[in-house]
Amino acid sequence: MSSTPNRNVTRRSSHSAGSGAAPLRATANAYAPGAGQHLQSLHESSEQDSSRSQVQHGAIAAPIGQGHASGIEALLATGPVAVYMTAERERPNANPHKPAFLHGVVLDSNNPDQWTNVVLPYVAGLTFNVACPPDVHFAGVMFGSPSLPGLYTAVTKLELPGFHWFSGIANNRLHNPNLEMAKNLPNLRELTFRMHTAGITKSAFGSEREMIECEKLDPVRSKDRKCMPYADVAAKYDLGALFACRSLTHVRIEYIDSDMTANATKDQDPVNVLYDIRGWLGHGFAQQGQNVVVDLVRVA
């Protein structure tokens, strides 16, 4: 595959180069999940539960046909359809062993079937949004909590909107903590992560010294950039770790197409590198016998 322009991609000039937010540092350790029983029929239970429920204004409505749901079912029926880890950890007295989205529900040792047959299938229908390294750390503690046994086995949908802030694999960073977390979710079926075109380019000059010399004579030209080969991008973000997620069926790559980056890369198009990444992932999953749909969607 080549990262040179080979597809017609329409740019929308209305989108600016990016937000003014400071880059997030990916320094959180990848979590190691605690002991928990693997739920063989989790996906089926989740689908059955979804067929008996309705989504209304961001909450799961009470199961149809049950006039008097049990206390825990009624409690869970008011829960969200998405769990934003930033909101979870920023709550007053936030506790990953007793997350707010479960409304205080934890394993009842006197009634463990309730946890397995009601709570975990409910969790399987939720989408977990993990946006930054502190979120990864908080989620890791929560997923491995002994108070929430097997919770990590119930996670089927994960969103990583801050994925593009990862600064890359280096001598002191051997793994991408976002994907280390994903690898430890054995029933993960749907994964969304976000890229930025600035993160898949590099300076057009061979060395920093050469760039500085050019800046003295031509400040505009000194900002020129070139596209990275797709293999280098995959290595930078540790994308090969996705192949360890053996339950995946859908990967959605969102991307921000920066006008500033487009101007700096001139006759090259970084979006073509993302198309190559999509093709590489699809081929890799197929090679190991997984039928995974890989989508590429511009979001800004």
Residue 60 domain flag: yes
Distance CA 165, CA 252 (A): 17
Q: Would you state the pLDDT for residue 272? A: 95
Asked whether residue 48 is domain-assigned, the answer is yes
And the tokens for 126?
């939720």
- List the chain residues with pLDDT less than 50: 1-69
In a domain, 4, yes or no: no
Domain extent at residue 53: 42-298
Asked if residue 65 belongs to a domain, the reply is yes
Is the pTM higher than 0.85? The answer reads no
Domain count, the chain: 1
pLDDT digits (tens, 9 = 90+) for 71-122: 577 667 776 789 999 999 999 999 999 999 988 888 888 888 889 998 999 9
CA neighbor of 122 nearest in space, from 201, 204, 39: 39
pLDDT score of 265: 82
Residue 3 lies in a domain: no
161 lies in a domain?
Answer: yes
CA-closest candidate to residue 193, choices 58, 300, 297, 86? 297
Side chain identity at 92, as an amino acid letter?
Answer: P
Would residue 159 count as lying in a domain?
yes
Task: Give the DSSP H/E element, type plus range, for residue 198.
Answer: none
pLDDT at residue 2, as a whole number: 43
Which pLDDT score is estimated for 32?
Answer: 36
